[in-house]
């Protein structure tokens, strides 16, 4: 067991009594999404104990709001929306996007071009594939977790849940255009993280100053 | 209507939306037209596709903590219940 918490540790909430039948229907609708919600929480927090706390909080909040859910077919998006709002509340300082100047730099970053220019594996016939093959799983996970939450949330949902841009816009309360640019920049930051890691590990002998 | 002509930079900025199936209409046509004529961008796009698959593959599964479902069921059962 790694830091799972028993209960949610909050003061008892004053709210109208929830009927047994409502609890049963809620459980039936929400519990099948537990695995996906936990996976998302775990990506966002990078910590199993905190991820469970976030999921527990999500279920409680959702139970309280359950009578307002009009369309049960939307329950998955609705639960993810509650979780991502709670996560943003927890890390409000981190939930902002990068500044415009950084974003412009990022838009021009190209891992593909850097691999060509630096040629880190001179004897490779499949340079780009061989470059990627050198990364251990945990390093890729660490690179993703290092993303600011504004980019991590849409990417985690895209990769793990295969959500469409429309679904992402709904879950994350963002316009479609913002979803699109965050998915682009999030991947660019990830490319830069991988490149920085390769330099730190000495996979790339940088004889010239690269971006 | 004539298709918009993209530079390589414009094309690259559309790659991820293209891979995510989020491009349509004139935007999609413009990118496909550029890709037909630009081998460099085809290779860049191929790398972006591989990188996406690579990251997805490396993320793997996140096993649920033991007993979490039971703890959540208990929370659902007890939350907001009046004492007595």
For A101-142, how does the pLDDT look when each residue is reduced to its tens digit (9 = 90+)?
A: 677 778 788 999 999 888 877 777 888 999 999 898 888 988
Pair B44, A6: CB distance under 8 Å: no
Q: Which of B51, B52, B81 to mutate to test the interface with A (most CBs of A within 10 A)?
A: B51
User: d(Cα A185, Cα A21) in Å, to the nearest integer?
Assistant: 45
Q: Tell me which chain B residues have a C-beta less than 8 angstroms from the C-beta of A4.
A: 65-68, 71
Sorting pLDDT into bands at 50, 70 and 90, what band is B61? confident
Q: Tell me which chain A residues have a C-beta less than 8 angstroms from the C-beta of B55.
A: 140, 144, 159, 190
Average the pLDDT over B57-63 and give the result: 86
Q: Tell me which chain A residues have a C-beta less than 8 angstroms from the C-beta of B17.
A: 165, 180, 183-184
pLDDT value, residue B47 = 95
User: d(Cα A43, Cα A24) in Å, to the nearest integer?
Assistant: 29
pLDDT value, residue A2 = 39
Return the closest-CA partner of residue B17 out of A177, A27, A48, A148.
A177
pLDDT value, residue A88 = 82
pLDDT value, residue A97 = 54
Pair B3, A166: CB distance under 8 Å: no
Enter the ipTM.
0.87
pLDDT value, residue A104 = 73
SS3 of residue A137 by DSSP:
helix
pLDDT value, residue B53 = 94
Instruction: Point out the residues of chain A with pLDDT beneath 70.
Output: 1-16, 92-101, 205-211
Return the closest-CA partner of residue A108 out of A209, A192, A196, A208.
A192
User: Which residue among B9, B13, B62 places its CB closest to the CB of A42?
Assistant: B62
Please give the distance of CA B39 from its chain centroid, rounded to a whole number: 24
User: Which residue among A13, A34, A137 places its CB closest to the CB of B58?
Assistant: A137
Average the pLDDT over B53-74 and give the result: 92
């Amino acid at each position: 067991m790694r830091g799972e918490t028993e209960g949610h540790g909050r003061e008892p909430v004053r709210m109208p009594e929830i009927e047994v039948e409502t609890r049963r229907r809620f459980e039936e609708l929400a519990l099948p999404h537990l695995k996906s919600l936990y996976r998302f929480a775990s990506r966002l927090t990078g910590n199993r104990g905190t991820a469970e706390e976030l999921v527990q909080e999500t279920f409680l909040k959702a139970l309280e709001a359950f009578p307002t859910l009009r369309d049960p077919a939307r329950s998955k998006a609705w639960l993810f929306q509650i979780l991502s709002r709670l996560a943003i509340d927890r890390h409000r300082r981190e939930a902002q996007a990068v500044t415009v100047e950084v974003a412009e730099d990022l838009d021009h970053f190209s891992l593909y071009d850097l691999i060509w220019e630096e040629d880190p594996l001179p004897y490779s016939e499949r340079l780009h594939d061989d470059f990627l093959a050198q990364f251990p799983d945990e390093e890729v996970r660490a690179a993703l977790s290092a993303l600011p939450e504004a980019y991590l949330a849409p990417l985690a949902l895209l990769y793990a849940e295969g959500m469409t841009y429309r679904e992402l816009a709904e879950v994350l309360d963002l316009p479609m255009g913002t979803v699109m640019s965050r998915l682009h920049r999030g991947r660019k930051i990830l490319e830069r993280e991988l490149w920085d890691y390769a330099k730190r590990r000495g996979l790339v002998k940088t004889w010239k100053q690269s971006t | 209507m004539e298709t918009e002509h993209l530079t390589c930079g414009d094309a690259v900025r559309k790659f991820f939306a293209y891979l995510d199936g989020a491009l349509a209409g004139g935007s999609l046509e413009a990118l496909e037209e550029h890709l037909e004529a630009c081998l460099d961008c085809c290779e860049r796009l191929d790398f972006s596709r591989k990188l996406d698959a690579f990251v997805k593959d490396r993320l793997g599964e996140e096993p649920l903590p033991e007993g979490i479902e039971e703890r959540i069921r208990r929370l659902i059962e007890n939350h907001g219940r009046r004492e007595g």
